[in-house]
Amino acid sequence: MINIGTSGFSYDDWVGPVYPPGLAKRDFLAFYAREFSTVEVNATYYGVPPPRTLKAMADKTPPGFLFTVKAHQDMTHKRTDNTPVFGAFKLAMEPLQVVGKLGCVLAQFPFSFHATAENRGYLGEFAERMAPLPWVAEFRNREWLSAETFAGLRRLGVGFCCVDEPRLPGLIPPVAEATSEIAYVRFHGRNAARWWEHKEAYERYDYTYKAEELAEWVPRVRALQEKAKEVFLFANNHYQGQAVDTARQLILMLGEGTNPQMRAD
């Protein structure tokens, strides 16, 4: 099954473009889940929530809805003296696991995370600490794009996060690869002018995809379907709700991803 959604859902600038004016913020997720079958939770990158937070989120979504959850930044960016945060993070995931709504964990490593022997070793440590939760690794540095990386991820049972992002030196190109039962794609937009130089973080993801740009991914996604049991596609060009339009276009192109009840049935 292909699961299509957006990276995050609780944005103030979605009021108007996505959410009707006057809709309470506590009702954003339930409104979102009327249309999409999955969401990527990014707030966990900045702080590990108590388990009750993700339980409340699960309660607002229908049967079959899936959450993917971004690992806390101390797990991907700090990499030393961070063992306790893994325990807290896994505890926070338990409510989603209990109701079968945890799709996987997303570990987004920074551009400064180079493809060194030491960092390859850290991926193994990460896998040990994260077990038995399923997770995928997103690399920002092109050095990781190699047969060695793919083989290593397969040995660990870890998914490779494919990306669509600006074609800039050093960044990962649009390669479709699955290294576990979970295939994962993030659509960051192609705003090359603001990727490295921006005042606000959202500027990096201020981009409206053209239909022909997304169509390039249709055969790639079909290829991922052949290799993986579960496919997740997330639009991260979230500024002013552009991600919702991206997700809708992908659903139309692929003919899948809209009905979480199908999973429950």
Q: What pLDDT sits at residue 262?
A: 44
Site of tokens 């039962």: 181
Beta bridge partners of 163: 186
Question: Domains of the chain: which residue ranges?
Answer: 2-237+246-264
Rounded distance between C-alpha atoms, residue 215 and residue 49, angstroms: 37
Cα separation, 204 vs 48, in Å, equals 24
Q: Give pLDDT, residue 257.
A: 57
Please name the residue that has the structure tokens 């913020």.
Answer: 25
Distance CA 32, CA 30 (A): 5
The predicted model scores a pTM of 0.94
Residues 6+ away with beta carbon under 8 Å from 220: 162, 174, 176, 185
**Strands 38-41 and 2-7, sheet pairing:** parallel
Give the pLDDT score at 58.
Answer: 98
Nearest residue to 77 (alpha-carbon basis) of 159, 138, 143? 138
- Per-residue pLDDT 10s for the chain (265 aa) are 899 999 999 999 999 999 999 999 999 999 999 999 999 999 999 999 999 999 999 999 999 999 999 999 999 999 889 999 999 999 999 999 999 999 999 999 999 999 999 999 999 999 999 999 999 999 999 999 999 999 999 999 999 999 999 999 999 999 999 999 999 999 999 999 989 988 888 888 999 999 999 999 999 999 999 999 999 999 999 999 999 999 999 999 999 655 444 444 4
pLDDT value of position 1: 86
Tokens of 32: 């979102």
* 2-237+246-264, CATH topology level: TIM Barrel (3.20.20)
